[in-house]
Chain A
Amino acid sequence: MSQVEIRNLRKAYDDLEVLHGIDVDIPDGAFVALVGPSGCGKSTLLRMIAGLEEVTSGKISIGDRVVNDIAPKDRDIAMVFQNYALYPHMTVRKNMGFALKQRGLPKAEIDRRVSEAAGILGLSALLERKPRALSGGQRQRVAMGRAIVRNPTVFLFDEPLSNLDAKLRVQMRSELKELHQRLSTTTIYVTHDQIEAMTLSDQVVVMNGGHIEQVGAPLELYDNPQTLFVAAFIGSPQMNFFEGEVTPEGRLKLAEGLELDPGRPLAGPGQQVTMGVRPEHLELAESGWPAEAVVIEPTGSETQITARLAGHTVRILLRGRTDIQPHDQIHLRANPALIHVFATETGRRI
């Protein structure tokens, strides 16, 4: 186990800078997710921690060692790749034992550790098989097994579940979480799936365009997104946004006839703002903003309504069921305590 410290880390390919000064602290034993859209630099950051990409400038420390110029094999980290990268000519046993053999461990010790890891992951019956004779989920487990037999100081995961089907993904997600609870090894997990990031990690690092947008506990990001990007990225279904301005009375004017008292002083009158409200924080009311229901999507435990509100398409998430039909007129209300207001120009929370 070890903490990972990243200071002012930059990465450039020739003249193109893809990471612009990243600072992150990953505490010892934490499960941290790096999340963001494709091309945001999350995988590059992970690969730099692994030593697979050179550092342009800045510092990466694992434990109390700066590892910038240390070869991947000497960093004492294990990585699970998106495509598993199992050695096709070796059996599961040899795949899992390869790193230990490289380290020159005695055969008995290798066998003991491989058997132990195989037991944890339910791979004991598959040890003599080659990767091509395994299903996707089994290959995924072998890739994890290859990482855990080494007992490394840090685990790195690069979108490890994205090649699995939806059902298996959910199953492997809980297995991963259980594994982390059991081993408590510092884990850095890259994903573009915010649900994975939210459910698995102690701390989420949201990245966008080579910058960090926000770092925080999953629910903290959900409840207090500091930027429009984080507000839009975290949460499914996505937060509803309305652009508008602050009136001289301090109210939010989002459209003609669509006003709201934010209940707290905002920036000066005339400022352009974007208000966000999560689908579950829009309530149906007897009176309020008039809207037209367009699509009703019941999932059993809850119902998602897509409605048209003053030219905007909004999503409302209701607990339980409803008898609202498409084209019904409904009224909506947003609880001022649960709205998020951002400066439109900077995208920062007000």
Chain B
Amino acid sequence: MAVVDTGYTSRRHLWRRVRIVAGVVLCALFLFPVFWMVLSSFKMPKDIFTTPPVLFFEPTLETYRSYMSRADITRRMLNTVIVAFGSGALSIVAGTMAGYALARVRLRGAGTIGVLILMSRGVPPIALAVPMFLVARKLGLTDKHITLILAYCTFLIPYVMWLMRAFFQSLPRELEEAAMLDGCGRFGAFFKIIVPISIPGILSTLIFSVILAWEELLFALVLTNRNASTIPVAIAGIAGDTVNGANWGALTAVGTLTVVPVVIFALAVQKWLITGLSEGATKG
């Protein structure tokens, strides 16, 4: 029997191709600046702004070498790791539990509390930075990791809470009820059943939280000085160097160093992000 092309299938194929091309173009558009940054970080400073730009050149680690030794990059990188993962972990623990409470526990005014917490995200960070600095100074906590971690929690916890609340709402309530009939209390049901099946949601939220903390500049600029200073502060310092002018080579090298750990982290937890773990919990 001959296959009749209905026009519908060919339109569908065409549409599929258009979408693939559009996806590739969009990805290229977003990734090009990153590509350019990484490429430039391996160029000699004089090659960065040549016209026309060169794609093929002799790569050098000169920029990395010269800048790394000067600007305390290693310590700042370590600070950024401590602060980003510290605040990420703390906000995941607090935000996940708060999100669960908002999603499941019948609390009078829970909705209002949730909206109020979300509204705190609407306050411009600059309005909080100065009061935070004053409080930190009063407590003798300036330029300390914990200060930055707590400051980041102020915007990360609401973020985690809202994402996880939506995630928990999508889980069948019967899972916890079954656990509660099987001998768990509310906490047991949460930790033994809900948390294990929410790992994909928790990890993807953790990645976003770590990235948000990783790239944060304002609080880091205001609340740290030397000891707890992070990479974004270093980048801002290089870009805003009014004495020597922006050192583009250093900027691209540090920029590349900033991106790499986050990408490695995201790739490392990628296999956990595959959703569908809860498939089979309820009707098929």
Contacts and interface: CB of A to CB of B under 8 A. Distances in A.
Given A85-B174, A87-B175, A89-B196, A78 B181 contact: yes
Given A73-B180, A88-B197, A133 B175 contact: no
Interface string A117-159: 0000000000000111111100100000010001000000000
Interface string A192-223: 00000000000000000000000000000000
A251 to B, nearest CB: 53
Q: Pick the most buried of B174, B182, B184, B185: most chain A CB atoms within 10 A of its CB.
A: B182
A83 B278 contact: no
Q: Which of B177, B178, B279 has most A Cβ within 10 Å? A: B178
A167 interface: no
Q: Is the interface of A mostly helix, strand, loop or mixed?
A: loop
A99 B182 contact: yes
A72 B180 CA distance: 6
B52 interface: no
B112 interface: no
B226 interface: no
Given A81-B174, A87-B193, A72 B280 contact: no
Contacts, number: 93
B283 interface: yes
B280 A130 contact: yes
Interface centre among B184, B197, B284 (most CB of A within 10 A): B284
Contact of B183 (A51, A73, A84, A88): A73
B22 to A, nearest CB: 34
Interface string B247-284: 00000000000000000000000000000011111111
B188 interface: yes
Contacts of B183: 73, 98-99, 102-103
Interface of A: 50-52, 71-73, 75, 77-79, 81-89, 98-99, 102-103, 130-136, 139, 146, 150, 163
A148 to B, nearest CB: 13
A97 B69 CA distance: 59
29 contacts: A50-B177, A51-B180, A71-B185, A72-B181, A73-B180, A73-B182, A73-B184, A77-B181, A82-B283, A83-B172, A83-B281, A83-B283, A84-B282, A85-B175, A85-B281, A85-B282, A86-B178, A87-B179, A88-B280, A98-B182, A98-B183, A102-B182, A102-B184, A102-B188, A133-B280, A134-B280, A134-B284, A139-B283, A163-B284
